[in-house]
Amino acid sequence: MIESHTKLKHLITKHPLITGSFFLTLAGFISRLIGFFYRMYLSQLFGEEGMGIYQLIGPVMALSFSLTAAGFQTSISKFVAEHTGNPANGRSSLYRPLLLGLSISLPLSILLMFLLQRNALFIATQFLQEPRTAPLLRILALSLPLSAAHACINGFFYGCKKAAIPAICQLTEQLFRVLSVYIIATLALFQGHTPALNVTCIGILLGEVAATLLSIVTILWHTKRPLSATYDLSTNQPFTTEGKHFTYGMLLSMAIPLIANRITLNLLQSIETVSLPARLRMYGYDQSTALSVYGVLTGMAFPLLFFPNAITNAFAVLLLPLISEKVALGDKPGVRKLTIKTIRYCSLLGFSCMFIFLLFGNQLGYILFHSQLAGIFIQTLSFICPFMYLNNTLSAILQGMGKVIPLFFINVSALLLRLAFIFAFVPSHGIKGYLWGLLAGQLFQCTIYLFTINRTQKH
């Protein structure tokens, strides 16, 4: 029994990517499984048009998260792994990236929350071109400070290679979101009322409250533990410069390019989101049909295609600090070995899923969502799986190498390519024109990612 416990502890210490990916993948699969039933429930509760309206708010919230949290989470993860990896630096050095990140992220998220609250109607009518999204935006704005705190704390634990904690928080958020929506909607139906679409955003807010509270409790408990519980002192190598004090400048030197990257990408994705229904109307659809088609694509087909992404997302999150650590140590063979393994396993996953969705896409769409159109989308988009799953991890490798600027231009170019397909082909070929653009964008990204990584490793 003691020997088994020792072997398990050795496995967790020696292979943080495998064990961390296991926790994140398990949480991701459970979360996505819950999400499947949740999507089916929402589609029956609000219909295809309601799902389309709900999906319209996604880019606004993604843009808000990018501005206030995403860049800081990645930066905290990288610097906790790279610059405070030596336990001899002390506890203050260990937690300093987290504290500095929170001191910027939280005030920024509170400011944006008030701005979004005051301008929700303007954004809904002028930008999203759908006034019914305004009350949804007002509710979701309240979650911004919570998601900022939650993201920064997760970044700290990713940097410490303690993936189980963010995984538990992820599951907590999803469970509270789904249960709260189900309870509120059931009570409304019991009283003879039709649930409003607002209930979906109330669920998101309550899920974020639960996950953030759990994150805060966990980090407070973690600060009371000895440093030996955070690092394996027998195997951890000191790879930070003695006496090098972590500063705002160091944090922002990575966070600002990442934020600029994410904001630009989210702006382009927002243009994509708004332009697609408009171009579908030019093809001949009315407003309701255009929203319904968009809702089926993004609210039904995409979640199924993204389901296996739970594995690659887990790898991507944990690859970044591991690659950062090896780059800081000058371990080029280690970086190359990790890269080759990543390409091999993600490609295997991608091609396997492609054949499954290609052969059974129609049946899956009808069985899961009672939508023949969803099945057509799933089958058509099956060809993007090998590239989409691989791109997540290749992006993380480039971030770990510090290649933020090349990553930015690659991602922007891929989105511009997709937008070109929307404006050029959707008015004449309908939704098929957009599906072609998705495939072209993913193929372009994958090719340039591989070229950039290979070129970097040769220098």
Write out pLDDT tens, residues 210-257: 999 999 999 988 877 655 444 443 344 433 434 456 778 888 888 887
Query: Residue 428: which pLDDT band, with cuts at 50, 70 and 90?
Result: very high
Radius of gyration of the chain (CA): 22
H-helix segments, 129-163: 134-141, 144-159
| Torsions phi, psi for 194 (to 5 deg) | -85, 125
Residue 9 within a domain: no
pLDDT of 94 over the 80 cut:
no
Residue type, 284: G
CA distance 322 to 343: 16
Could you tell me the sign of the dihedral formed by the alpha carbons of 261, 266, 271, 273, in that order? positive
Residue 81 within a domain: yes
Output the pLDDT for position 213. Answer: 95
pLDDT of 325 over the 80 cut:
no
Candidates 120, 189, 128, 162; CA nearest to 23 is 162
Query: Residue 103: which pLDDT band, with cuts at 50, 70 and 90?
Result: very high
Residue 236 within a domain: no
pTM: 0.69
The CA-atom distances, in angstroms, between 329 and each of 80, 236, 326, 333, 400 are 15, 12, 5, 11, 12
Residue 1 within a domain: no
Number of domains comprising the chain: 1
Please tell me the number of Cα atoms within 13 Å of 290 on its side-chain side.
Answer: 21
Residue 238 within a domain: no
Rounded mean pLDDT of 375-390? 90
Residue 239 within a domain: no
Residue type, 305: L
Rounded mean pLDDT of 305-334? 74
Residue 118: other Cβ atoms inside 10 A: 11
Query: Residue 3: which pLDDT band, with cuts at 50, 70 and 90?
Result: very low
Residue 63 within a domain: yes
Which domain range does residue 316 map to?
16-231+248-458
Q: Are 262 and 70 in contact (CB under 8 A)?
A: yes
Residue 3 within a domain: no
Output the pLDDT for position 41. Answer: 84
pLDDT of 157 over the 90 cut:
no
Question: Which distant-in-sequence residues (6+ apart) come within 8 Å of 367 by Cβ?
Answer: none
Note the residue count of the chain: 459
Output the pLDDT for position 226. Answer: 58
Q: Mean pLDDT score of the chain, rounded to an integer?
A: 81
The CA-atom distances, in angstroms, between 195 and each of 38, 143, 293, 336, 365 are 15, 21, 22, 53, 25
